[in-house]
Every structure is written in C-alpha cells, then in structure tokens.
Amino acid sequence: MKKLSFISLAVVLTLSMALVGCGENGVVLEYDLTIASTDGGSVFPAAGTHTYQQGQTVNVKATPASEFYEFVNWTGADAGELADANAAETSITMNGDYSITANFQALPWDEQITLTLHPTISQFASICGEVIFPWVDEVNALEGPDGGTFNVELVTPGDSPYDAASSLSAITLGTTDIGMLSPETFHLGGAGYLPFAFDSIEQSAYVMYNLFTEDNGKWDAEGQLDGVKILITMPLWGSQLWTTAAGGEVDEASDLQGLKIRTDAQYVESATYAALGAVPTFLGVADLAGSLESGVIDGCFFTYSGIGGAADLGPVTAHTTELNLIYRPYSLAMNVDAYEALPADAKAALDSVSGADASVSWATAHIAAEEGDRDDTIDGPCAYSGPPFPCNDRNTEYGRPITVPDLSSFIAATANVATDWAAYLEDPEEGPLMDGTGILARIEALKAAYGG
C-alpha cells in the first residue's frame, strides 16, 4: 500500500512538471522578472532580477515609503502582463522574460515633521554651541512650498542613552532620526586622525564629507555607513597638547619621549602618539582631570574650548603646545530610511542646509568662535576665570604658557602613520579589507580639489 502511494505521487509530480515550467524532453524552462521602483517606495520582490519557472504566478507588491507618497501604477515593457497594472498588489504569470516598474508620486508637504537629534558630546562644547544648535535652528526655520516645516527635537547628552560608541548603531537602527557620529566608531573615520593631514579645519570638513559620502559609499568597503545619510561633517579645531607641569614645553618630537599621553583607543591616534615616542594611555574624558593631577598621565590632546569645558581640565593643565595635530571630524547623520521617507520637498529643504559646502561654512564659523578661546588661553595667566571655572591659585601660579614649535620634527616622526594605517586596512588577517592606498590617494585629490 505504501509502495502504491509512492508510485501515485511520482506520477502526479511528473504530470505537474509537464504542465508547469517544462519544455521538450522534460527540461524546466525559466524566465527572468526584472522589477524596479521610482523614488518614494519599495517593491516586493526586491528591486533587481529574479528567476522563475515557466507558468509560475508571481505576486508583486508596491509599498510607499511613508504617508508622504502614494502608489500610482506599474509601467514598463511588460506591464500589460500584470493582472492589474493599477493595483499596488497584483500578480504576473511567467511565460517570458518580463520587466516592470512601480511608480510613486510625492504628496504635498503641508505639515510639520518632527525629528529627534541626539548629540553625544557635552552641550557646553563648542561643537554644540557653534555648529549643532545653530544648525538645528536653521533646519527649523525651513519651510516648504506647501507650508511644511521641521521640528528637530534636541535630546541633550545628559538625557541621551547614546554615547559615541552606540550612536552609529542607534542611527542605523532608527532609534533616533539624527545623531552624532564620532570618527573612531567606523573604520573610514580613522582618516580624520591622520596626523598633520589637513591644512585647515575647512579643508578637513570638505575632504572628510566627500570621503564619507561619495559614490554611494565607495570608500566604506565594510558598509558601516550604509544605514545613515551624512548631513554635515563637523571637525574640531586641531588638537593641542596639554601638560600638567610648569615648564612643560614641548619644542620638538623628542620632548614627548616616554610621556604618558591619554588616548581613547582609536587606532590611528594611538599609533601617532607611539610614533612621537609617547606612551598611549587609554582613558575616558571623565577620568582625565584626576589622572592628570595624580600623574597617571602626563598630558592629553584637546581643543582650546574643550580643555576649559570638559571634565574640569581648565585648572589642572599648565602648559600648551600648539601642534594642530588632527582635526577630529564629527558628523551629523540621519537614518537613511527616515530620510528617504521624507516628502520630496522636505528632502530638498534638508539638502539645502547639508553637504560639503555647508560643512565648510560651519567649520569657518566654528574656528572663528574658537579664536576667542585660543586668545584667552594664550593671554593667561587666568584664562578660565569665568564659568565653569573661577580663577584659582593654581591658574594664577601656572598661567597658560604656550609653545608654538617648528612642526618639522613632529611631521617627520609621524610620516609613516598614514601608510601604516593604509596597510592595516588592507591586511587580509587583521584589517577590514578596505582600499587603504586608494583612500590616501583620494584624500590628496580632494585636498587639491578644495584648494582654499
């Protein structure tokens, strides 16, 4: 009895194959379905080419990206093969190679769109006061032709669950609409730590924005930025060396030999300190003040405004060496799906205050604001007499002596850091297998393109 059932089943399967998808001599015929969509929505099966057996009925579906778009119809050379070319959900029976496209249209932007933005840095930092906060004001002042507006809600760092390490994931997953990227949290960001790589903060903004975004992530071989859209890149003033002891001048690279210098574990940053002869010591910002005072570390690299506003460092440090070592390029980035879901006019409005040119403009404004911090630091001896630090005995005793050294010995000592980093990216055993050599060449090309 079981044998009879088996033979009957085999006969049924043979007859089925003869009726669906079989040609002469029982050969299964297959055809390609190429499916695509315009902006404003997605399709199922996913956009691309899929192979099916002859006679197979394939269900297709078009889904608008958000309430700001609507499905129009299916078009293409073979739209007539669809059961209903005007239905978002329909089907097509595969009796040949077919190509179809789902069409969407934007609806008027006539309402307010609320977006959340989570910075990951102190609200007292210059990058917040001089870039992020005014950029938010600029976005909230935008208005679409049909009256639409933005409402970007800032969640201050004290209320934010995202630190530098988790912010990229939070943006990618869409748990925040807009967030702040720290360059050490993705491999391509390491380019922002290459020592003495840029001539100015503006050049750094231009180069790094393009490096992060051009050609749909060409240089981001790991796809770490696939889930985000970079809006603006926000470099800091070049990092200066701050030491704790009076008479702590650093006039040439050899003066750093054996000094314990704080790093936050970024590959290029720690490699740079080691190349200068220093001992990279991994510490978070919260531990800096106590570590400097107790001698756990001898110094750290920080910006002028940062040293006064972060972790009570102003009264602790005593000497500054103006090296402009790196222009650490933070970025504001948006969840890419949230961006694509915006009305067309809203995307255009947001694009108008984003991009390479906007990044350069904000860098210019940022550096102009920090000139005052630099001047106060140099003028001393009580550079940080206002909030958050009153002038105290330590400030008065040590002042803020500053060294502006000849950079040649520092540049020479770190000359191999960039090529070592490129080799690490390309290392088949340890690296992320990125085109490090190509990235370095592209940086130089972008620097030349910027001029400035």
What confidence tens digit (pLDDT) does each residue in 173-226 have?
A: 999 999 999 998 999 999 999 999 999 999 999 999 999 999 988 999 999 999
Q: Predicted confidence band at 16 (pLDDT cuts at 50, 70, 90)?
A: very low
Asked whether the predicted pLDDT for residue 419 surpasses 50, the reply is yes
**pLDDT tens by residue, 65-87:** 888 899 999 999 999 999 999 99
pLDDT band, very low/low/confident/very high, at 161 (cuts 50, 70, 90) = low
Is the pLDDT at 11 greater than 50? The verdict is no
Whether residue 176 contacts residue 162, with contact meaning beta carbons closer than 8 Å, is answered with yes
pLDDT digits (tens, 9 = 90+) for 221-253: 999 999 999 999 999 988 889 888 656 778 899
pLDDT score, position 368: 87
pLDDT at residue number 238: 85
With contact defined as beta carbons under 8 Å apart, do 253 and 274 qualify?
A: no
Higher pLDDT: 400 or 75? It is: 75
What pLDDT is recorded for position 5?
34
Is 90 exceeded by the pLDDT of residue 346? yes
Checking if the pLDDT of 255 tops 50, the result is yes
* pLDDT band for position 90 (cuts 50, 70, 90): very high
Handedness of CA 201, 207, 210, 211 (dihedral sign): negative
Q: φ and ψ at 379, to 5 degrees?
A: -70, -40
Q: Which amino acid makes up residue 40?
A: G
Q: What percent of the chain is predicted at pLDDT more than 90?
A: 61
**What does the H/E/C string look like for the chain?**
CHHHHHHHHHHHHHHHHHHCCECHHHCECEEEEEEEECCCEEEECCCEEEEEECCCEEEEEEEECCCCEEEEEEECCCHHHECCCCCCEEEEECCCCEEEEEEEEECCCCCEEEEEEECCCCCCCHHHHHHHHHHHHHHHCCECCCCCEEEEEECCHHHCCCCHHHHHHHHHHCCCCEEEECHHHCHHHHHHHCCCCCCCHHHHHHHHHHHHHHHHHCCCCCCCCCCEEEEEEEECCCCEEEECCCCCCCCCHHHHCCCEEEECCCHHHHHHHHHCCCEEEECCHHHHHHHHHHCCCCEEEECHHHHHHCCCCCCCCCEEECCCCCCCEEEEEEEHHHHHCCCHHHHHHHHHCCCHHHHHHHHHHHHHHHHHHHHHHHHCCCCCCCCCCCCCHHHHHHCCCEECCCCHHHHHHCCCHHHHHHHHHHCCCCCCCCCHHHHHHHHHHHHHHHCC
The yes-or-no verdict on residue 304 having pLDDT over 70 is yes
Q: Does pLDDT of 92 surpass 70?
A: yes
Q: What is the pLDDT of residue 3?
A: 30
Q: What is the pLDDT of residue 2?
A: 30
pLDDT tens column, 420-442? 999 999 999 999 999 999 999 99
Q: Name the residue with higher pLDDT: 163 or 334.
A: 334
Question: Stretch 266-292: mean pLDDT, rounded?
Answer: 89
- pLDDT recorded at residue 22: 53
pLDDT(290) > 50: yes
Residue that wins the pLDDT comparison between 205 and 27: 205
Confidence of residue 25 (pLDDT cuts 50, 70, 90): low
Q: pLDDT at residue 279 above 80?
A: yes
**Residue 402 reports pLDDT greater than 50:** yes
Please write the tens of the pLDDT for every residue from 347-399.
999 999 999 999 999 999 998 888 776 766 655 544 444 443 444 444 444 44
Mean pLDDT of 293-300: 89
Model pLDDT, residue 353: 98
Q: Are 26 and 17 in contact (CB under 8 A)?
A: yes
pLDDT > 70: percent of the chain: 84
pLDDT at 159: 58
Above 80 in pLDDT, residue 314? no
- pLDDT score at 247: 61
CB 225 within 8 A of CB 186: yes
Distance of CA 442 to the CA centre of its chain: 18
Residue 1 pLDDT greater than 60, yes or no = no
Prediction pTM value = 0.81
In this prediction, residues 152-171 reach a mean pLDDT of 80
pLDDT-based confidence at residue 8 (cuts at 50, 70, 90): very low
Q: What value does the mean pLDDT of the chain take?
A: 85
